[in-house]
Chain A
């Protein structure tokens, strides 16, 4: 299964946010989508999912344009993991995961035993079977995110799209969730994940797509694509990228932000002046 974006343009109403971009994702690949706030990551994701109209170009699944596909047709192929959220009603975890089966069951039907089995397998795959009978609104944020991944897996999709799956998660949960993402690629699922931190793209993706002003700045392996110049273009800050070894002797690339000395001087001067005012 291959998802291909060909000269895709999208946006809200008259405004174009994403301008004629092209790239493709293959089975077993994890693509990290990087870009500043407002660069159009979410718009792009929503357009692929069919939530936003395509302004130009096309979204192709195995070469077929999905423009006229129904929500159920798309849901049987593409799974979506939203940012962590809280629904208004305290559904059981198993029921939340079963919602992933919606596209596979008839309109007037409820999930059958077979669907329950698929949902339980999805929970098992993420090692969270113990959560099955718990209440979704009462478990921790990290657990909730894993449940949403399980729900997407219950959809039996061939492509998974995640919109900053680790936003609002603590440090430990970010790593736990992301290591599962890498495991998904092993199931021959293509993963497109927008991420906040370039470091996450280094560790967990095979390819990085850098979005800037609605265009692709670079598309390549994380090591090639993510450089300190490009991060400066993307986020407007100076970043040093260094390679370190973790305790398992693996090479890791980390980003170290730095502010120029001149800027620091300026802020120090401001603090001094404040103090003077306060004394006077």
Chain B
């Protein structure tokens, strides 16, 4: 035990060096006090607390985040950048690697400028780190998959139309990331269960869809109720039912959250479901791409198109004759290159699908027995939120900033016009008491949804 305590103390002393100078003395303070704590379990716990402190301060420090990001970017470049010039995917992969690194680095700055820094607590931070890891993994796996699928580069010429599609996909990923960063920033007050429920439902959806078809599914997605394919129907059902349920559930949970300034339940249901589908699509794209990249030989071979319409059996879809020795390789590569594209297409439509289904679910929730009132803002209309808050006391600057944040969020989401925002923000800056501040946000729930 004595030796163990000594080892812990040594570890704490060394790890304190990881902290910036201004923080190091706090770790040293824990170490200095350790002698006071009764030897044994108490002292071990004290030293473990010190190590936790170092870990916490190191991770929260900017240096650690920058280092982690640089490592991730380097890993992506290491996997995605190499490629021979005869491989038609090489330039595409390089554009992806560069574009992704730039997006990942720039987006947080932009979002911080308009929506404030990351929200407090471990969940928003974990969601951001998870989102970044997913995007890095997706781009890396996609690069490997595309490289495997384009070795016969001369037969897989990338036409301008494909470039456009690929750039659109990159923009969609940027959009998902921006959504994640905005939803986890300080100025958006999603109710507490909203984000975890949305992300959790997304993960469950992705897991279910992945289990149904680990190597991706053909373009059945767009005909989800194709009677000939039970797999396709199941796939379609799962991907529609879960966001609907998320919207319903979050709207029900949100109806109980009566803090002022929180978004109306219907909007929260809509946002959470959108978040769920985006998470599901992103996670599914990651899982599918990684599986294809790791096991390209398991991808089922696409059938050559029937020799109709002037085509020939030995030709690719562009009527280029494939030499006999290359035919199997050609179809294998074509299959790998095209596998997983449904997951990317799903990424494009998922957030919108989720928003629509979530709104539908939230509407169902507000009509079901158990919640009072009608429409999105019903429960709020029934019980004025201001009464549940302690309104006594003078307002602090923190209170004022928070209310201004809520007002800005309402403006962004269409609950306030620009003029109203300016007027109320002015009032918030001069409001003497908490009650005055609360009055500025109480009516935000009653605003009709736009459209």
Tell me if chain B binds chain A.
Answer: no
Q: Which residues of A contact B (CB under 8 A)?
A: none
Q: Which residues of B contact A (CB under 8 A)?
A: none
